[in-house]
Amino acid sequence: MAYYFNEPSHTFNEYLLVPGYSSEECIPSAVSLETPLVRFKKGEKSSIMMKAPMVSAIMQAVSGEKLAIALAKEGGVAFIYGSQSIEDEAAMVAAVKKHKAGFVRSNSNIRPDMTLADVIALKEQTGHSTVAVTDDGTANGKLLGIVTGRDYRVSRMDPSTKVSEFMTPLDKLITAPDGTTLKEANDIIWDHKLNSLPIVDKEGRMCYFVFRKDYDEHKQNPNELLDADKRYVVGAGISTRDYAERVPALVEAGVDVLCIDSSEGFSAWQKQTLAWIREHYGDSVKVGAGNVVDREGFRFLADCGADFIKVGIGGGSICITRETKGIGRGQATALIEVCKARDEYFEETGIYIPVASDGGIVYDHHITLALAMGADFVMLGRYFARFDESPSAKVNVGGTMMKEYWGEGSNRARNWQRYDLGGAKKLTFEEGVDSFVPYAGKLADNVQITLAKVRSTMCNCGALSIPEFQQKARLTLVSSASIVEGGAHDVVLRSQAMKETWGSNR
């Protein structure tokens, strides 16, 4: 006879936090959101401590190099999607690691024999007003000069004018050698009243630009997540199929942490993958695993050597696994049980294995609930897919700007490896959908608002850190009537009233 759980499984939307005493010290600016990403021993500290409890999902529509850089600036970690060639994924990882904070690789480049018309077209394409003039028109060509808006006037110049005739030549530029620190570069910019400083190597080839306008931006990013060499921290997804070839390439590219991308982690395939990594790299390569939804699944992956464990099956906004296969569990219930198992494992072994809540996040306050229930951080897909930095296209749907968003189990992604059960190398049926999400602008603007809400709620509960929050949090189940009561009700919203009035006066 099948085993039946006594309690129904619950979602985040069925819980509320009950406020606790807030002292004078409980102000949002005093709250620390630092949290461990990978396992550590009692009395020690995790080798990767995030400054924001957020990582991006391993998805084609979410985690590319641009989002990885943007998220690292806010203190989180992106996991580059693995449903692409080994070479392409490794190249994305390498691009993030090579991106120096403040040192911008020029993507607006032109040859001296090209024309003003070409400069204008390039500006329209990239949006950048500073153009490097190199011998071959590439980002790493020999620097011959630069062109800025001060070098030409469209209304008074022939579009066929050669770039060499109006560019600022190299002998009139101030440059700095490769190896110059960001502080030194900014000092040169301020001392010489420059808007940009080209960085060149010993052969005079273009390496980077440092811009005056970026100075304030970097001052505004105190939570940047950097490795020991001051490079952005980045993760990458792997499957249980080609790990023997993919892992070495990603390690060579400089990846900081890996994660097995699988819809269900309680399997022999994940055990084999973890065993291979430990055999060939020991503990030097950090790798997360999952997904699981109960105590047994957690213990299995913990004993296999996972550095963090993801919780959640079927709760993603584009996931239809529960509909197609009838497996899964309410995200809140799954998370509570797994986090309890994590704490028991820590007491028994002295090893703390961070838990990621993956799926089921609809509103910002669900992130706070997940942390209160024991999650060390959350993995988000839909949330990040909405931003400028995600890899998907921005489209106009019925007059509203949207971003494309599709699941890894959809026909569009066809990531059969994620749902692999050792059979044929194909996606037999879909476990994800192809969709749109409302466009939301820049990642930084949205993440900062979301984390402000998290900090404010933690203060309401009298906590100044995530561990303290988990100790002090008090949660209550709510009825369907309570959920309705929690929103605006029994009033006519001003926006709706104005809309109806405007419509009747047309």
Strands (E), 67-202: 77-80, 109-110, 131-134, 143-147, 168-169, 176-177, 196-200
339 is catalytic: no
- Are 15 and 476 within 8 A, CB to CB? yes
Which of 329, 386, 418, 455 is catalytic? The answer is: 418
**Closest C-alpha among 299, 242, 240 to residue 273:** 240
Helix 65-73 vs helix 443-460: angle between axes, to the nearest 10 degrees? 40
- Report the C-alpha gap between 488 and 84 in whole angstroms: 45
- Report the C-alpha gap between 212 and 196 in whole angstroms: 6
Question: What SS3 state is found at 269?
Answer: helix
Residue 33 has phi, psi (to 5 degrees) of -105, 20
- Report the C-alpha gap between 49 and 333 in whole angstroms: 26
Residue 24 has phi, psi (to 5 degrees) of -65, -20
207 is catalytic: no
Which of 26, 207, 319, 461 is catalytic? The answer is: 319
Which tokens sit at 349? 């072994």
- Report the C-alpha gap between 370 and 332 in whole angstroms: 7
**Single-letter amino acid, residue 352:** Y
- Report the C-alpha gap between 236 and 287 in whole angstroms: 9
State the catalytic residues.
319, 418
